[in-house]
Amino acid sequence: MNFKVFDTYDEVSVYTAELLAEVVREKEDAVLGLATGSSPVGMYKELIKLHKDGKLDFSKAKSINLDEYVGLEGSHEQSYRYFMNTNLFDHVNIDKKNTFVPDGTVDDLAKGAEKYDKLIESIGGIDVQVLGIGPNGHIGFNEPADALKMNTHVAELTEGTIKANARFFESEKEVPTKAVTMGVGPIMKAKKIILIASGENKALAVKSLMDDVITTKIPATLLKLHPDVTVVLDKEAASML
């Protein structure tokens, strides 16, 4: 794992946008594995800037998102489809038909999950996967557990994750308790991974990426087995290193 520490979140955003832009410039039809949440918001802003300045073309790129809340339509302001449209897709020239987010509203979620895995395969896997990290070390919504799942599945969110995500909702009661999430399989098979962490509440999870332990109780530690991971941190997230 390659660690990069910057003084500010803005620098983290500029740097990670450049890393992702490099992939798209090298391969115009790259498959971008994308995350929602606070961590990549600055990176998405920088990508929009690069595009508006004529330095980045998404016309052939595809994207595949990590997760979506169960029960929220894409038009719901807290859905991850809505997040991706408003934070990135509406502002760049990616073809929305080539942007994929799991559907948390289908009747048969298990079948939907299977379809999502087939989709990932059919578009050739992921060239670059952007990840945030939960304070508990989750990646996607692969929460700490005795075992992790390879494939897309329905995950019960932990109490801590629900509390952490309540900041986006009117109250904690409104936070969905389940999400459809990519499993660790396609994440680990991505050619390149960029993990972004900002803020002191991530410092402990980030510290666990530095030691010699791999445990399903801290899912992000699995990334130690991947050959090309760049962990990009602000100084608060790096404060325990």
Nearest alpha-carbon partner for 139 in 187, 198, 79, 201: 187
Of 28 and 174, nearer to ligand F6R (C-beta) is 174
Q: Please name the residue ranges forming H helices in 32-158.
A: 41-52, 80-87, 109-122
Dihedral, CA of residue 94, residue 100, residue 105 and residue 108, to nearest 10: 150
Helix (H, G, I), strand (E, B) or coil at 179: strand
Tell whether residue 134 is a contact of ligand F6R (CB under 6 A).
yes
Q: Which one of 42-50, 93-101, 136-144, 150-158 is the stretch in contact with ligand F6R (CB under 6 A)? A: 136-144
Reply yes or no on whether 165 is catalytic.
no
Reply yes or no on whether 143 is catalytic.
yes
Tell whether residue 99 is a contact of ligand F6R (CB under 6 A).
no
Reply yes or no on whether 76 is catalytic.
no
Q: Which one of 109-117, 128-136, 220-228, 230-238 is the stretch in contact with ligand F6R (CB under 6 A)? A: 128-136
Tell whether residue 67 is a contact of ligand F6R (CB under 6 A).
yes
Among 104, 140, 183, 186, binds ligand F6R (CB under 6 A): 140
Helix (H, G, I), strand (E, B) or coil at 21: helix
Tell whether residue 33 is a contact of ligand F6R (CB under 6 A).
no
Q: What's the length of the chain?
A: 241
Record the tokens describing residue 136, joined without a space: 């508990």
Of 38 and 230, nearer to ligand F6R (C-beta) is 38
Query: Sign of the C-alpha dihedral, residues 209, 224, 133, 144?
Result: negative
Of 67 and 127, nearer to ligand F6R (C-beta) is 67
Of 30 and 41, nearer to ligand F6R (C-beta) is 41
**Cα–Cα distances in Å, from 181 out to 16, 45, 116, 118?**
23, 24, 10, 14
Reply yes or no on whether 67 is catalytic.
yes
How buried is residue 77: exposed, middle or buried, by Cβ count under 10 Å (0-12/13-18/19+)?
A: exposed
Of 36 and 221, nearer to ligand F6R (C-beta) is 36
Tell whether residue 139 is a contact of ligand F6R (CB under 6 A).
yes
- The one catalytic residue among 76, 136, 151, 200: 136
Backbone angles phi, psi at 176, to 5 degrees: -60, 150
Record the tokens describing residue 207, joined without a space: 């510290």
Tell whether residue 138 is a contact of ligand F6R (CB under 6 A).
yes
Using CB under 6 A, count the residues that bind ligand F6R: 14
Record the tokens describing residue 144, joined without a space: 């700490």
Among 30, 56, 66, 113, binds ligand F6R (CB under 6 A): 66
Q: How far is the CB of 179 from ligand F6R (least distance, A)?
A: 8
Backbone angles phi, psi at 5, to 5 degrees: -115, 130
Write out the residues near ligand F6R by the rule CB under 6 A.
35-39, 66-67, 132-134, 138-141
| Catalytic annotation, residues | 67, 136, 138, 143
